[in-house]
Structure 1
């Protein structure tokens, strides 16, 4: 009995040892065969398309400002208000300007009175000169006084007209029909002459404004096809055309503003909508594009892991332009190669992998 129990105990220990050894071997096998993501290399031009987020803007946008300084007394528009040409947008306090106009008006009246007196004296002395009762010198003096009075009237009238114009400038009116895109001043605020207070987008053409990095400008200039989609209008696309590329890069972002015109804009687009612009590169240029996550680099030469017969090996590549999460491969890959795109840092040459 004692011997049978001891034998049974030994048998259990042996079975447990065999079981644990099997689990260890299975776990080790799984650890030696990691799971990675893969991609089949294709030689085509599809990877050259670039996508940019943009905003629907008006082609003609005008920043309006008062031509005189003053305190804003009234604001008649809100952001998004639809206005017509001649509508009053804002008004500033015109009391001081009105007083200036009154002063100029009084100066005009005084100058006209002096002119009437100078004219009467000139007529009187002209008659006396013709009768021989006055000298030529006296006549010339009154002629000069008349001309001085006439010039004073012209000066006073010009000052009055200038003041009247400034009084008219105290009211800001829309120069065309459109939509208010920005309001930069409020009632009670003191503004200076020329300070932008309202931005109006004129009715008419709509465009998409995007920002393009430096390494994509040449591609943008030579773009063959531009497609514009709208996040608020699923399934709606429109043909676009590059109308304008800014010659100067933004000082902070180092990108260039690009305007995409819409020859046939779809219905339902509104100012400020977010758009997605897809720019296709030259269709006659084929290249290989791979995700940046597929690149494995320990020295100066970039490499990728190639999967063949379930095993991985490193292959050096020659890199080209990169952007939008993709890298152009100039040399080193062929059509049909299977590469690892995720998990490149945990591999070693000759290692077996599981992939999808």
Structure 2
């Protein structure tokens, strides 16, 4: 307070003037301060960064991929032609066999007894034939001597013909029994690889029951299952590429060879066989394969894929943010199937357009943004 002691020494009139002047100065300073704060300050607009992607024509072609298995062009299911008990199996799963190799054998004892019985019947019929032939010659001489009637001779001629028929019948039964004895051995009719076994030694099997499958040497192809809504697209495809899980650096061209006429009753999908064009020897039966459909009639399929993070959902409608001159606009799209991180877009996007792939939930219509990134989709 000492700096202000001089005020107490002033006359009252001068003190009044001093106080009035101080009040005026304070009011002027307050007015200036109020005017300074009353003027609006310029607002700095916050322009957010967003990650974008370009729907470009130079993007890799999109398509469908189907998993499958390497199979043989020709597969034969082998079975015995007679009923019996399997006593020997000479092959293992995956064994390579040649035409004429014995694969399995069933117990031939009953069949051998049938052959022995048929053989005895043949000997009996031949003996009856010899007797009938001797009688016929004898009675023919008696007939020439007019010792017997024509009716008696006809009886012996008929007996001779019956004996001949009995021999033929017994011989046929013997041949049939011999064939069945031979059927106790299961032969490989073609060279190939054993792909499946469904019977073991000691098992009783019936005639026609499949006991193994052999894949013939030669062409290789891939079997895939295709849903019914993709059959026509696959039928019209002009280019297929096949890759293999065990051979990551190998891709082989393929072509549709066969489409099943009916869907599988369980999976409701159609079996499709894809022929491999010039397959390398490294491709083995049973390998896991992926068939990629990359074009229909020389054109890429009518859809592209975008990241799931680019989808902005309003109620049940999927949308994306389109960036035009650094301004975003919301557009409705039609989507297809989903992947792990991607989704198919069937319509609503054009080549060359830029979409926002991150930060879509922080944007509003007509907002200015700054793009960050620009990967092609």
TM bracket (short chain): 0.7 to 0.9
Task: Please tell me whether residue 88 in structure 1 is matched to residue 88 in structure 2.
Answer: no
The residue number in structure 2 matching 1:157 is 171
User: Of residues 321, 345, 355 in structure 2, which corresponds to 1:328?
Assistant: 345
The residue number in structure 1 matching 2:130 is 116
The offset of 1:164, in angstroms, is 0.7
- Conservation of the 8 A alpha-carbon contact between 2:294 and 2:301: no
The superposition leaves residues 201-246 of structure 1 with CA deviations (integer Å, 9 ceiling, x where unpaired) of 1111111112222222112111111112222223222221211111
- Conservation of the 8 A alpha-carbon contact between 1:43 and 1:287: no
The residue number in structure 2 matching 1:302 is 318
- Conservation of the 8 A alpha-carbon contact between 2:320 and 2:355: no
The 2-side partners of 1:177 and 1:332 are apart by 55
3-state SS of 2:237 partner: coil
The residue number in structure 1 matching 2:22 is none
- Conservation of the 8 A alpha-carbon contact between 1:43 and 1:288: no
The offset of 1:52, in angstroms, is 1.9
3-state SS of 2:241 partner: strand
Task: Please tell me whether residue 168 in structure 1 is matched to residue 185 in structure 2.
Answer: no
The superposition leaves residues 54-81 of structure 1 with CA deviations (integer Å, 9 ceiling, x where unpaired) of 2211101101000011110000000111
The superposition leaves residues 150-172 of structure 1 with CA deviations (integer Å, 9 ceiling, x where unpaired) of 11111111111111111000000
3-state SS of 1:281 partner: strand
Of stretches 70-79 and 94-103 in structure 1, the one that deviates more from structure 2 is 94-103
The superposition leaves residues 94-115 of structure 1 with CA deviations (integer Å, 9 ceiling, x where unpaired) of 1111111111111111111111
Task: Please tell me whether residue 145 in structure 1 is matched to residue 162 in structure 2.
Answer: no
The residue number in structure 1 matching 2:305 is 290
The residue number in structure 1 matching 2:39 is none
The 2-side partners of 1:213 and 1:96 are apart by 51
The offset of 1:287, in angstroms, is 4.0
The 2-side partners of 1:246 and 1:211 are apart by 10
3-state SS of 2:152 partner: helix
- Conservation of the 8 A alpha-carbon contact between 1:317 and 1:333: no
The residue number in structure 1 matching 2:41 is none
The 2-side partners of 1:180 and 1:285 are apart by 40
Distance 1:220 1:78, change over 3 A: same
The residue number in structure 1 matching 2:252 is 238
The 1-side partners of 2:59 and 2:144 are apart by 100
What is the correspondence of 1:98-247 to structure 2 with a 5 Å cutoff? 98-247=112-261
Residues matched between the structures, number: 322
The residue number in structure 2 matching 1:66 is 80
Task: Please tell me whether residue 314 in structure 1 is matched to residue 330 in structure 2.
Answer: yes
The 2-side partners of 1:36 and 1:164 are apart by 85
The superposition leaves residues 257-301 of structure 1 with CA deviations (integer Å, 9 ceiling, x where unpaired) of 111112311131111112222221133357441347344445554
3-state SS of 2:263 partner: coil
The 2-side partners of 1:57 and 1:309 are apart by 54
TM-score (norm 1): 0.80
Look at both structures and tell me which one has the larger radius of gyration over its CA atoms.
2
User: Of residues 92, 95, 98 in structure 2, which corresponds to 1:78?
Assistant: 92
The residue number in structure 1 matching 2:5 is none
- Conservation of the 8 A alpha-carbon contact between 2:52 and 2:371: no
The 1-side partners of 2:236 and 2:293 are apart by 10
The superposition leaves residues 160-191 of structure 1 with CA deviations (integer Å, 9 ceiling, x where unpaired) of 11111110000001001111111111100111
- Conservation of the 8 A alpha-carbon contact between 1:119 and 1:146: yes
Distance 1:79 1:285, change over 3 A: closer
